[in-house]
Amino acid sequence: MRSLLMAGVALVAMAGGALAAEGCPNPDALGTSRVVTVDPKAMPLLGTLQYKQTIPLQKGEVILTFDDGPLPPYTTRVLDTLKAECVKATFFIVGTMARAHPAVLQRVVQDGHSIGTHSQTHPLIFPKLTQEAGLQEIQKGFASTDAALAPINAHAGPFFRFPGLGRTKFYESYLQQNGISVFSVDLVADDWMHLKPDEVMKRALDRLEARGSGILLLHDIQPSTAVMLPAFLKELKARGFKVVHVEPATTTPVALAPGKPAAPATVNVQPAAVPAGAPATTTAVAVTPAKPASVPRPVPSPLAQPAVAPVAEAEPAPKNPVETFFNQLWPRLLPDMTPKPNGQAHATGSGAAEE
């Protein structure tokens, strides 16, 4: 299995800080240690929170991913911090946000970060949509992102993350057929849960220490994340962690097929009784497809770690549909995300991987 994973990932290995040193004015920056190039055909489903595969990483390596933007001033502040530390990340873009703030999205690309998409409107419960509506969310998300990037001759990469991590096999199959990698995560920081910046930072560090490496989920629209990020990156360096950047193996723009919702299954059943002498007939009976899987319930693995220095409070974020989801609905769906007082918790991704 390890050899199969490596076949789908080209590793551009660099000595620690080598990427950071090139063109980085900060000699003390965390930097980006190496680049991992992912081939969607070989690695269609990534992240142990939901799948069996993830990007092969060494102990102490972390991939930074940011969802739901762009949204100034928070995304801008995140970009400023990443630039100061010469760190590259992957941003999963909401289509409506891209159209609302194209200049910020263009800066994400110009700063050297990777772009994936995260649907058009970030529907609250993606698997509950009709298949036709879900396909439109995926397609419009790519189209809006590409439209916002057109002035700088850029486009979204073949990476997609389900809103709320709400997936179904129908959409996974559609994305795989179109050469797109589905990114789940390996660990989370709970930054959508109205936590203070120092608590977001602590949870991210605790879970990284516990797991050793992985794809980390953050949200660039969250003020607490924007505030804690400078101290977080410095603490990563102090603890010996290294940042790995993910890039797609192809630079070809994504061209999505229209896709069609699956037709209801039918079976032929013989009538219970047929009058003598009458010809036998069959009746087509529609079978209702099974309900889509519910939103996955990520479970963290926090362990006690030395306390980190607190960071400043964040200003409140403007209201938008994406934040309404994370601030109001998701905490109700995921009551077990907060570490228990005695420090016990389920291991991240334990029992969650299905593919």
Structure tokens at 213: 């490496």
pLDDT (0 to 100) of residue 218? 98
Domains of the chain: 2-258+317-337 (3.20.20.370)
CA dihedral 235→238→241→246, nearest 10 degrees, is 60
- pLDDT digit string, tens, across residues 218-277: 999 999 999 999 999 999 999 999 999 999 998 888 888 887 766 544 444 344 444 455
pLDDT (0 to 100) of residue 192? 93
Most confident of 9-18, 30-39, 278-287, 314-323: 30-39
pLDDT (0 to 100) of residue 262? 61
CA atoms within 13 A of residue 229's CA, in its CB half-sphere: 30
Look at residue 24 and tell me whether its pLDDT is greater than 90: no
Least confident stretch, 127-131, 168-172, 285-289 = 285-289
Q: What is the C-alpha separation between 304 and 344, in angstroms, rounded? A: 9
- pLDDT digit string, tens, across residues 42-57: 999 999 999 999 999 9
Residue with structure tokens 């390596």?
Answer: 61
pLDDT (0 to 100) of residue 354? 52
- pLDDT digit string, tens, across residues 29-45: 999 999 999 999 999 99
Q: What is the C-alpha separation between 192 and 219, in angstroms, rounded? A: 7
pLDDT (0 to 100) of residue 299? 34
Q: Which of 331, 296, 66, 46 is nearest to 164 (CA)?
A: 296
Helix, strand or coil, per DSSP, at residue 45: strand
- pLDDT digit string, tens, across residues 74-83: 999 999 999 9
DSSP 8-state symbol, 125:
T
pLDDT (0 to 100) of residue 250? 85
Q: Note whether 68 and 98 are within 8 A (CB).
A: no
The alpha helices in the chain, defined as continuous H runs, are 2-7, 18-21, 74-84, 95-100, 102-110, 131-149, 169-177, 197-211, 223-238, 321-324, 330-333
Look at residue 280 and tell me whether its pLDDT is greater than 90: no
